[in-house]
Amino acid sequence: MSIRAGALALVGIMTAGFVGTALAVEETPGEVSVTKDLTAVIALHGLPCGNVVSATQQGKDDYVASCENGNRYRVFVGADGRVIVEKID
């Protein structure tokens, strides 16, 4: 999967109307959860994570993802429409 495809998938999920702060979403068959999308986007950016174990929505198109290895990342869409991943210390 290309970075562009991963970014488009994330933007699609982020704009799909998810509301709430805790997004440890239960999956239904055939549906990909936000945590799996965030895991893919972080991996496509070449950052260590393993799997995203929880995600908190900070605003529209803005998430904080907590990884199984203890790392935390802010994943958001920048003004230019690109997905940005920043490590949180």
Residue 45 has pLDDT above 80, yes or no: yes
pLDDT-above-90 percentage for the chain: 60
| Cβ pair 58, 37 in contact under 8 A | no
Residues facing 22 on adjacent strands: 56
Residue 55 has what pLDDT? 93
- Across the chain, mean pLDDT equals 79
Total structural domains in the chain? Answer: 1
Expressed as residue numbers, the domain containing 49 is 3-88
pLDDT digits (tens, 9 = 90+) for 57-88: 999 999 999 999 999 999 999 999 999 999 99
Annotate 28-86 with DSSP letters as a single string.
-TT---HHHHHHHHHHHTT---SSEEEEEEEETTEEEEEETTS-EEEEEE-TTS-EEEE
Angle of helix 3-14 versus helix 34-44 axis, rounded to 10: 150
pTM equals: 0.65
